[in-house]
Chains A and B, each alone.
Chain A
Amino acid sequence: MDNINLDRVDSSFKKELASQPGGETISACFTCRTCTASCPITAVNDKFNPLRIIRMALYGLKEEVLTSDFIWLCSTCYACQERCPQGVSITEFMTLLKNLAVKEGNMPTGIRAQRDTIKGEGRIYPIDDFDNKKRAKVALPAIPTSCNVVEKLFPPVRN
């Protein structure tokens, strides 16, 4: 990974983050690295490093963070958040970053596909007649194969 380039800072990013759910506690980070030491993703791939992401965000490296691939590697396991001695909601913070990245038009294809399937079908794995046949075979009740309520919950304008 390249060195952090401080010429590209957005000094208002820290404030923007602190005003949104998941970002309220972020300034309390005192860089102890407990998050990174606890992270099961860092353990297999150092492209993901929660402390580095927190520091980048606090420096104001908005564009670098929100266009990165690495924020998407957070598995939301909460190991960091549970152990943070400063009470930083790190997992919720990662979710905030992902949500902001989406608003800027950045998201992995797999996450986009999940969102579109759920908003369209009401389920991440839509059920078809074949599934219901398999269910019936073992005396499990049928699951509806369509879902109309999502249209009401998410009128097209939200997309």
Chain B
Amino acid sequence: MKYAFFLGCTIPARSRNYELSARKVAEKLGIELIDVEEFICCGFPMKASDYKSAEIMGAYNLCLAQEKNLDICVLCSSCASQLTEVAHSLSEDGPDREQINDELSRAGLKYGGGVKVRHFARVLLEDIGVEKIKEHFIKDLSDLKTAIHYGCHYLKPSEIYDGFDDVENPKSIETLVALTGARVIDYPGKKRCCGGPVLPVDENVALSVAKEKLDDIVDAGADAMCLVCPFCSVMYDDNQKSIESEFGTDYNLPVLYLTQILGLAMGFGRKELGLNINVVKTKKLLSKYLD
């Protein structure tokens, strides 16, 4: 099992913990992640200002995977949605293939279709399967109470995701987390956005949106949050202190990536999973699962 590994922009710069833990989990499960140096931004942050340029960037990345004859595995939900959407628009009967190929010709490229784009969590469920994943677990996380944050672009727009999971009642991430024995705590506002895309426009609005979820999760009694997108993590982990000081709240809620939780159950260590890089400290909560 081999995929072109699309890291996007946020992960290599700001989320080495996500990247480290995903690489460990992948290696354990026999997933070969091929690094493609030439990948550029997926285009997602350009959509608001220039939809067409965003599409060109997405298409350029698809071409690089096509040249290697590989499907794409993505860790960031925004990258997943942007690249999947572009793959749809550029499919055989898609509306934009000819026009975008004209633009790509300046870089000597042409997209012929067929590259599949999937989030890492989806690859785990669809290509590895829960039974095989479970075989690699050596630790039981049953004392850990997690609140899952699906975020938006991991699931939406649903029309591009071919029926993967249910937007109004998602289950895929908790299915994976529950395999470790960890408890999944339900909470109101589970489907709420992190607010991230509004951060460059109005910081107060963005942080207010993120605050609502942190309030709900702490009230519901979870010990940690589990998520699958580096930008959601920027909002809840990197910005948790700012939210606390802006709104006079106190959470101290560790924010874990799905891959860190799976990696813990697989027996990986603190540094191997980048847990020391998380902004909200995880040591106290997780010490019993670490040797």
Contact yes or no, A147 B40, CB < 8 A? yes
In the complex, whether A32 has a CB less than 8 A from a CB of chain B is: no
In the complex, whether B92 has a CB less than 8 A from a CB of chain A is: no
Contact yes or no, A99 B195, CB < 8 A? no
Return B263 CB to nearest CB of chain A, in Å: 14
Q: Which residues of B contact A91 (CB under 8 A)?
A: 157
In the complex, whether A107 has a CB less than 8 A from a CB of chain B is: yes
Which of B47, B95, B196 touches A95 (beta carbons < 8 Å)?
A: B47
Which of A40, A74, A77, A115 touches B46 (beta carbons < 8 Å)?
A: A115
Nearest neighbor of B103 in chain A, beta-carbon distance: A153
Q: Which residues of A contact B41 (CB under 8 A)?
A: 118, 122-124
Contact yes or no, A125 B20, CB < 8 A? no
CA distance A14 to B50 in the complex (A): 21
Contact yes or no, B198 A158, CB < 8 A? no
Q: Decide yes or no: A41 and B9 within 8 Å by CB, A75-B198, A82-B157, A119-B53 being known contacts.
A: no
CA distance A152 to B104 in the complex (A): 9
Q: Which of A78, A122, A134, A135 has the most CB of B within 10 A?
A: A78
Return A17 CB to nearest CB of chain B, in Å: 14
Nearest neighbor of B211 in chain A, beta-carbon distance: A44
Q: Which of B9, B45, B95, B212 has the most CB of A within 10 A?
A: B9
Q: Decide yes or no: A99 and B51 within 8 Å by CB, A76-B152, A118-B45, A152-B106 being known contacts.
A: yes
Could you give, for residues 92-119 of chain A, a 1 whenever the CB lies within 8 Å of some chain B CB and a 0 otherwise?
A: 0001101100100001101111110011
In the complex, whether A140 has a CB less than 8 A from a CB of chain B is: yes
Contact yes or no, A79 B193, CB < 8 A? yes
**13 chain-A/chain-B pairs, Cβ below 8 angstroms:** A41-B195, A45-B208, A75-B206, A79-B152, A82-B156, A95-B51, A99-B51, A102-B50, A107-B49, A108-B200, A110-B199, A140-B23, A153-B53
Identify the B interface with A (CB < 8 A). Answer: 7, 9-10, 12-14, 16, 19-20, 23, 35, 37-38, 40-41, 45-51, 53, 56-57, 60, 95, 103-104, 106-107, 152-153, 156-158, 167-168, 191-193, 195-202, 205-206, 208-209, 212, 271, 274
